[in-house]
């Protein structure tokens, strides 16, 4: 068990193993996302009330899922790196931040575009949108902090602490924003969340969610591998990798 | 089953075309960039490393 | 200064006496608070009814900004003159000394803002019922601002121009406090009970008290060794 743990901590071992997974992950996410997009855009039935704008859900919901899950991935990796001094976990944390921020942005953007035909406005201060915006700010804080230290070691440790404090706060922030929204809910716009979904609408969503999970894992691996090359540039095995064949 | 009568209707999305296509287009573009950017960065990293190794090798000979 | 409580109160006493020697610095956040609130009627409307509607939110946001402005100094001076490193080398647990510094800092920045707030409530024609929850809420809320802000201040202490970054890091964490704080005042003005909201605020500050000193102590170790 400990040997395995030790192995997992070795960037070299991880680089080699993840290289074998990459093509499969790329293939899976490609197939799932293309299937989901075509199915969602062309073959899913249109929503009775929202018409075709409802099709944005197939991007919006998976992106929102992973935006939040990504923060926990980042914080968990940061915690592991801090407690067990595992180099690889540090690199995963650094790799997760921009990816999570990008997915949060996608969730916000698709939400806004979806809002225009549905509620007649790009932006409303809905509880979920507002929480998503705060999540984006949390990500931006982490990225800004990670860029302001001169040494990688320090910047990673600092970001891990901030990510952990943020993780403790996220449920409180979400609950408080929810509560705030029930106080101020505008009477004209009544949101009942996602429309009650027909199975024909739900199946492509499931495919897309799976596809996004594969995609997340793929990009996380790719970013981590880049980070490994960046940090282990002096190691012999990296030099061998760079050697012209 | 295809939900639209013809291709034009598919593009128009019942009047919601710009929103739907815009949301899908930008999101998928960002995702493609997310996947391609680390690949490009790895290539650049390995290339600079290779140059450094070659430079060191030549210095060793000379 | 060998016992725990001796060290704890020693740090508080030292920080308070240093603050008393720089009284100008003490007043700056207060003037900032006052000026921001003055800008509200100038930029929106002097009409009492409209001001009263905005008063809870404006006072809370200005108080947040004023304490944020002062956070920069929590560790900065001690870091520059080297006494922070000495503090970290002392045998006492660092989180306790950090807590002492936070308390001293709150006493000279958060507390004045709280005491000043009724005056600004008057200027913004806040209805009478709002004053008690405003004061009570700000006591708890500024404590959270100082506690969570200490983590950000510790992370950015060794950076040049860390103050903008500091605000960026901690402001999202202040969202729940702002929500509960303003709605406590609003509920009181609307004639509803605000006990439940105040309890949430109290829970938030108790929770920050539990987490923040440890996180800030860890952040100091990281920020300074780097």
CB contact under 8 Å between C225 and A154, yes or no, is yes
Q: Quick one: DSSP state of residue A234?
A: T
Mean pLDDT of chain C: 88
Chain B nearest CA to A231, separation (Å): 11
Mean of the pLDDT values across residues A187-198?
Answer: 51
Is residue C164 over pLDDT 90? no
User: Angle of helix C131-155 relative to helix C162-170, nearest 10 degrees?
Assistant: 120
Nearest-CA neighbor of A169 among C207, C156, C197, C219? C207
Q: Which residues contact A109 (CB under 8 A, 6 or more apart)?
A: B23, B26, B27
Per-residue confidence (pLDDT) for residue C74, from 0 to 100? 86
> Does any domain span residue A148?
yes
A108 within a domain of the structure (yes/no)? yes
Q: Is the pLDDT at A138 greater than 70, yes or no? A: yes
Q: What pLDDT digit, counting tens, does each position of A204-225 carry?
A: 889 999 999 999 999 999 999 9
| C112 close to C29: Cβ distance less than 8 angstroms | yes
* Domain total in chain A: 1
pLDDT in tens, B22-45: 889 999 999 999 999 999 999 998
Q: Which residue among A42, A114, A223 places its CB closest to the CB of B38?
A: A223
Q: Does residue A96 sit within a domain?
A: yes
Tell whether A9 is covered by a domain: no
Say how far apart CA A203 and CA A66 lie, in whole Å.
Answer: 18
**pLDDT of amino acid A213:** 94
CB contact under 8 A, B31 and A46: no
**Residue A185, pLDDT score:** 57
The interface pTM score, or ipTM, of the predicted complex is 0.87
Per the domain annotation, does A30 fall within a domain?
Answer: no
Q: For residue A12, is it within any domain?
A: no
Range(s) of the domain holding residue A203: 59-187+197-242
Contact (CB<8Å) A165/C173: yes
Domain membership of residue A106 (yes or no) is yes
* Mean pLDDT, residues A9-19 taken together: 85
A30-53 pLDDT per residue, tens? 999 999 998 888 888 877 777 788
Question: What are the residues facing A47 on neighbouring strands?
Answer: A51
pTM as predicted: 0.89
C211 to A177: CB separation less than 8 angstroms, yes or no:
no
């Amino acid at each position: 068990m400990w040997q395995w743990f030790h192995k997992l901590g070795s960037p070299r071992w991880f680089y080699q193993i993840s290289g074998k997974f990459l093509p499969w992950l790329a293939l899976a996410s490609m197939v799932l996302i293309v299937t989901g997009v075509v199915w969602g855009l062309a073959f899913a039935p249109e929503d009775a009330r929202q018409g075709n704008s409802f099709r944005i859900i197939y991007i919006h919901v998976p992106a929102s899922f992973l935006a939040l899950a990504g923060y926990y991935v980042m914080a968990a990796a940061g915690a592991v790196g801090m407690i067990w001094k595992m180099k690889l976990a540090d690199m995963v944390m650094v790799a997760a931040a921009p990816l999570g921020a990008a997915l949060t942005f996608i969730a916000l953007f698709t939400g806004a575009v979806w809002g225009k035909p549905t509620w007649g406005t790009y932006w409303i201060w809905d509880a979920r949108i507002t929480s998503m915006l705060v999540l984006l700010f949390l990500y931006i804080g982490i990225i800004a902090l990670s860029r302001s230290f001169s040494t990688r070691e320090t910047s990673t440790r600092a970001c891990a602490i901030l990510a952990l404090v943020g993780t403790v706060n996220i449920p409180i922030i979400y609950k408080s924003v929810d509560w705030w929204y029930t106080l101020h809910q505008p009477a004209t716009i009544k949101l009942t969340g996602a429309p009650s979904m027909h199975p024909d609408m739900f199946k492509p969503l499931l495919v897309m969610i799976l596809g996004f999970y594969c995609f997340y894992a793929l990009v996380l691996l790719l970013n981590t591998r880049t980070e490994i090359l960046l940090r282990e540039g002096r190691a012999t095995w990296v030099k061998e990798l760079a050697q012209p064949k | 089953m295809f939900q639209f009568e013809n291709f034009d209707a598919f593009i128009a999305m019942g009047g919601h075309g710009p929103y739907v296509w815009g949301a899908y287009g930008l999101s998928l573009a960002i995702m493609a960039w997310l996947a391609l950017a680390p690949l490009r960065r790895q290539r650049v990293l390995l290339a600079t490393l290779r140059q450094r190794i070659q430079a060191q090798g030549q210095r060793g000979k000379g | 200064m060998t016992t725990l409580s001796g060290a704890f109160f020693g740090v508080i006493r030292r920080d308070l006496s240093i603050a008393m020697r720089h009284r100008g610095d003490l007043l700056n956040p207060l003037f900032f608070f006052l000026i921001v609130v003055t800008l509200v009627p100038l930029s929106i409307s002097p009409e009492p009814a409209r001001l009263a509607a905005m008063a809870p939110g404006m006072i809370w946001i200005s108080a947040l900004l004023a304490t944020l402005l002062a956070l920069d100094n929590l560790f900065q001076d001690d870091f520059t003159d080297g006494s922070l490193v000495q503090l970290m080398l002392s045998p006492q647990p660092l989180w306790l000394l950090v807590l002492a510094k936070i308390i001293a800092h709150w006493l000279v920045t958060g507390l004045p803002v709280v005491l000043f707030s009724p005056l600004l409530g008057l200027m913004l024609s806040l209805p009478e019922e709002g004053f008690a929850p405003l004061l009570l809420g700000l006591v708890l809320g500024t404590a959270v601002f100082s506690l969570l802000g200490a983590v950000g201040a510790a992370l950015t202490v060794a950076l040049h121009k860390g103050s903008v970054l500091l605000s960026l890091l901690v402001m999202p964490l202040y969202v729940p406090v702002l929500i509960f704080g303003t709605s406590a005042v609003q509920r009181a003005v609307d004639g509803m009970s605000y006990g439940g909201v105040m309890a949430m605020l109290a829970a938030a500050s108790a929770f920050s008290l539990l987490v923040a000193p440890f996180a800030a102590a860890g952040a100091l170790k990281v920020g300074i060794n780097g």
